[in-house]
Structure 1
């Protein structure tokens, strides 16, 4: 144990500073999401993001060296939140009918994109970035196990294939939603629910 009487107070002072730094970073990311949602990724500027977050441009660059770094951080945040939502759905999947599960899968994606208007722009930004392949596989394996609860005859390979197809259907909805107005979005959601429920009913019945 350190004999320095000031060691404890020094360590104690770091925590509020770290918390303030984390809060400042979150404020900047929230501001960046607003600017990107309004103007698109290409038109968004570091100057506009700094102004929206009530920060100096120098302070923004202390946290993020460029716009790509901001978008990567937003992708991480969105990925973590999305994974948490998927986990919550998988937990209750056993108590849902196939139709209910299909609808909830589509609704989850639509609700997320509605609550995060920058999501599509962030997702489609041209960056040298890939989400962790292991994380994607874990999600699909968990969905596969949820499908096996509905149809115990499925082996692991079949269940994983179903999960891959189902999530690819959901993923393919994203670019259509990003370009549609509110009325068209409702129609697209209804069509994709038909597609997904038809597929899962045919495999899990």
Structure 2
């Protein structure tokens, strides 16, 4: 067999050729959703953009929700790699520099993945694994304890939750804003998060 079935009912490729086809479908889905929005994007258009038959799309994605979940999962993996690079040096840099890099990473990611913002508001019938949802909070909590060893685990995790909730709230304001306003919003968020972290972890 060239693939397995995951919990969403979609076929997951195991062979390199099949994996490349799925990557092409996800690339096409990202392009179409960025241009037309989630609701207007169709599986037929995504197939055509990828140079594939509609049957090939449904072979791997039983519906549009499954396709979007796979795209979100891919974005999550890419973002996780970027977080890892950030955390590798985060203990050594001053808090304002850390916050600058954190938001710059997010802004660059949104610019290079134009479907990311439209997908934020899409409600899917699938839920992320709890461990996956908590992984980033735990990494931030670990970072905060490295920077301030006096923090206990519960307090560090709470600070991580608050930090990430503030950071995530940027998305709601950022999505509809004009380019100039987006820059101003990011600057305000950097001030807010820097002040919070300086007060809590120095």
Q: Quick check: TM above 0.5? A: yes
Q: How far apart in 1 are the matches of 2:91 and 2:36?
A: 42
Partner of 2:146: 149
1:61-80 equivalences under 5 Å are 61-80=58-77
Taking structure 1 as reference, are residues 158 and 73 closer, same or farther at Cα in structure 2, changes over 3 Å only?
same
| Residue pair 2:99, 2:190 contacting (<8 A) in 1 also | yes
In angstroms, what is the RMSD of aligned CA positions? 1.6
- Which of 135, 156, 165 is the aligned partner of 1:168? 165
Partner of 2:34: 37
Q: How far apart in 2 are the matches of 1:199 and 1:69?
A: 38
Q: How far apart in 2 are the matches of 1:62 and 1:86?
A: 33
Q: How far apart in 2 are the matches of 1:130 and 1:88?
A: 27
Q: How far apart in 1 are the matches of 2:15 and 2:138?
A: 36
Partner of 1:103: 100
1:1-205 equivalences under 5 Å are 18-205=15-202
Decide which structure has greater helix share.
1
After TM superposition, the structure 1 stretch with the greater mean CA deviation from structure 2, 88-97 or 17-26, is 17-26
Shift of 1:158: 1.2
Q: How far apart in 2 are the matches of 1:137 and 1:52?
A: 35
After TM superposition, the score normalised by the length of structure 2 is 0.89
| Residue pair 1:41, 1:125 contacting (<8 A) in 2 also | yes
Q: How far apart in 2 are the matches of 1:132 and 1:193?
A: 30
- Give ranges in structure 1 of 5+ residues lacking alignment: 1-10, 12-16
Shift of 1:80: 1.2
| Residue pair 2:90, 2:143 contacting (<8 A) in 1 also | yes
The higher radius of gyration belongs to 1
Shift of 1:136: 2.5
Shift of 1:37: 0.3
- Give ranges in structure 2 of 5+ residues lacking alignment: 3-13
| Residue pair 1:120, 1:175 contacting (<8 A) in 2 also | no
After TM superposition, the score normalised by the length of structure 1 is 0.88
